[in-house]
């Protein structure tokens, strides 16, 4: 091991999860559409900021949350915005005295107080102490707060947990990486003989996870080297996903368009259906806008593609024996304490690379992981499957317990899918036909 790369505590305080916090799969957070199908955000990285120069800031949660936000904004909206990590530390109450901050507290501070660009409050060379860093030295505090307040009128920020207990399984993280870069807890930093970073103890740092090199997590960090690759078994206890949405602001041009539509409706007599509205709000402008052109004929609407994956996952959940306490499984057996898959929140009984069953945060996260597993199998992104394989062949790999189980499993799933979809689904159907 290369102990020269080891760094002292850097500002991460372990979160305390409560019922008010959003968790991936709980339905509370409306996430972005899939932004990075390949689960890699390296292309959108343009920030390389050190959190420690003359002194340690203990602001890893601020620097690396800012890193994630900047990537999302550039990827979604084509705008390069480098949030001030120093501002984030101030509004979140981060300090050297308490040893940094909880990444959830930091994300909530951003959600409630907004952001400012780094040039308004940078980690400048004239700062001599950590106390000066967490002050407005060299900046106009009133302008900073005004900018952040205005930022909130134009942008919406939110976040949820992807991982809340230690795991080396990448399934949930890879799923979440399609929507945003992630923040994750690490022990900073120690490399092995191959130059890969290994976990050597309790987490002391919050970093930015940009993707995976097959099984190896990749980080964009606030310490040199900025880009790091971790061993597959590194493992994480807490991982966050982020969402940034640009609000639709009512511009002068949009206001004029609304007025144009309004007066055209008035001209055509459609507002006569609402006499009280016409009486109170129809003072003719001095220069009425140009009439609208004739409306275009409606475009044909394409029907949404049929979802085969969700019913397949539901059938697997039943076949694997899911039953909550006091419920019956598919065979009719009652389970007073719930089945093993229920206790693990793992409806697909998915195993990690070490052969152990994965324990998910809740049922929705476990079901999302199962859906993602099937999607990867059907599209050739899971190395154990090929898109040309049939449903029966899929279960030969998924539950390799002999031809009898394989056949029974495939028959059960196809019967369930046929009834659910009102379409005959046969075990000979190829996986690529399901996506």
Nearest one of 80, 10, 94 to 51, comparing CA atoms: 10
Distance CA 205, CA 221 (A): 10
Instruction: Please tell me the predicted confidence (pLDDT) of residue 4.
Output: 42
Residues 240 and 366 in one domain: no
Residue 277 has pLDDT above 90, yes or no: no
Residue 175 has pLDDT above 60, yes or no: yes
Average pLDDT over residues 33-46: 89
Give the residue numbers spanning the domain of 406: 309-434
Q: Give the 3-state secondary structure percentages of the chain, helix then strand then coil, rounded to 5.
A: 35, 15, 50
Instruction: Please tell me the predicted confidence (pLDDT) of residue 3.
Output: 46
Distance CA 35, CA 388 (A): 27
Residues 89 and 134 in one domain: yes
Residues 100 and 228 in one domain: yes
Lowest mean pLDDT among 39-53, 292-306, 369-383: 292-306
pTM over 0.85: no
Q: For the segment 99-130, what is each residue's pLDDT rounded down to a tens digit?
A: 999 999 999 999 999 999 999 999 999 999 99
Residues 208 and 315 in one domain: no
Residues 203 and 324 in one domain: no
Residue 87 has pLDDT above 80, yes or no: yes
Distance CA 114, CA 270 (A): 42
Residues 295 and 322 in one domain: no
Q: What is the CATH number of the domain that holds 155?
A: 3.90.70.10
Q: Which residue has the tokens 């793992």?
A: 346
Strand 216-220 and strand 227-229: the pairing is: antiparallel
Residues 64 and 203 in one domain: yes
- Reported confidence tier of residue 300, pLDDT bands at 50, 70, 90: low
| Residue 203 near residue 187, CB atoms below 8 Å | yes
Residues 275 and 348 in one domain: no
Q: Name which residue leads in pLDDT, 180 or 301.
A: 180
Residue 166 has pLDDT above 80, yes or no: yes
Residues 204 and 273 in one domain: no
- Reported confidence tier of residue 248, pLDDT bands at 50, 70, 90: confident
Of the three residues 246, 269, 293, the one that is the final residue of a domain is 246
End-to-end CA distance of the chain: 45
Average pLDDT over residues 383-391: 93
Lowest mean pLDDT among 104-113, 200-209, 290-299, 367-376: 290-299
Residues 218 and 84 in one domain: yes
Q: What is the dihedral of CA 125, 126, 129, 130, to 10 degrees?
A: -60
Residues 164 and 259 in one domain: no
Tally of structural domains, the chain: 3
Q: What does the block give as tokens for 116?
A: 């400012």
Q: Name which residue leads in pLDDT, 304 or 138.
A: 138
Nearest one of 228, 212, 242 to 38, comparing CA atoms: 212
What percent of the chain has a predicted confidence (pLDDT) above 70? 85
Residues 392 and 296 in one domain: no
């Amino acid at each position: 091991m290369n102990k020269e790369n080891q760094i002292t505590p850097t500002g991460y305080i372990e979160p305390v999860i409560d019922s008010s916090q959003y968790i991936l799969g709980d339905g509370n957070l409306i996430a972005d559409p899939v932004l990075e199908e390949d689960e890699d955000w390296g292309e959108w990285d343009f920030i390389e900021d050190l959190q420690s120069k003359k002194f340690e800031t203990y602001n890893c949660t601020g620097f690396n949350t800012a890193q994630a936000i900047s990537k999302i904004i550039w990827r979604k909206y084509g705008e390069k915005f480098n949030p001030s990590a120093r501002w984030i530390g101030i509004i979140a109450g981060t300090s050297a005295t308490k040893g940094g901050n909880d990444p959830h507290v930091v994300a909530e501070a951003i959600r409630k107080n907004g952001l400012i660009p780094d040039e308004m409050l940078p980690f400048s060379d004239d700062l001599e102490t950590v106390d000066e860093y967490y002050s407005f030295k060299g900046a106009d505090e009133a302008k900073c707060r005004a900018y952040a307040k205005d930022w909130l009128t134009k942008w919406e920020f939110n976040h949820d947990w992807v991982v809340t207990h230690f795991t080396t399984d990448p399934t949930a993280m890879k799923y979440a990486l399609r929507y945003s870069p992630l923040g994750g807890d690490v022990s900073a930093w120690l490399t092995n003989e191959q130059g890969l970073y290994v976990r050597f103890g309790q987490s002391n740092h919050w970093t930015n996870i940009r993707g995976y090199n097959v099984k190896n997590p990749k980080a964009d960090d606030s310490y040199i080297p900025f880009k790091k690759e971790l061993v597959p078994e590194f493992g994480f206890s807490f991982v966050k996903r982020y969402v940034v949405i640009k609000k639709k602001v009512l511009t002068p041009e949009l206001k004029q368009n609304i007025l144009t539509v309004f007066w055209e409706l008035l001209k055509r007599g459609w507002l006569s259906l609402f006499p009280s509205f016409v009486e109170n709000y129809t003072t003719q402008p001095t220069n009425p806008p140009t009439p609208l052109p004739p409306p275009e004929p409606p475009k044909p609407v394409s029907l949404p593609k049929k979802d085969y994956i969700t019913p397949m996952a539901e059938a697997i959940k039943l076949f694997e024996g899911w039953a909550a306490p006091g419920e019956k499984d598919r065979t009719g057996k009652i389970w007073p304490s719930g089945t093993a898959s229920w206790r693990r929140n793992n409806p697909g009984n998915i195993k990690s690379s070490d052969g152990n069953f994965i324990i998910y945060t809740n049922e929705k996260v476990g079901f999302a992981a199962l859906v993602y597993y099937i999607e990867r199998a059907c599209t050739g992104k899971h190395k154990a499957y090929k898109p040309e394989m049939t449903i029966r062949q899929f279960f030969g790999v998924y539950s390799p317990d002999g031809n009898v189980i394989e056949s029974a499993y495939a028959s059960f799933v196809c019967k369930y899918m046929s009834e659910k979809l009102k379409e005959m689904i046969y075990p000979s159907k190829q996986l690529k036909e399901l996506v």
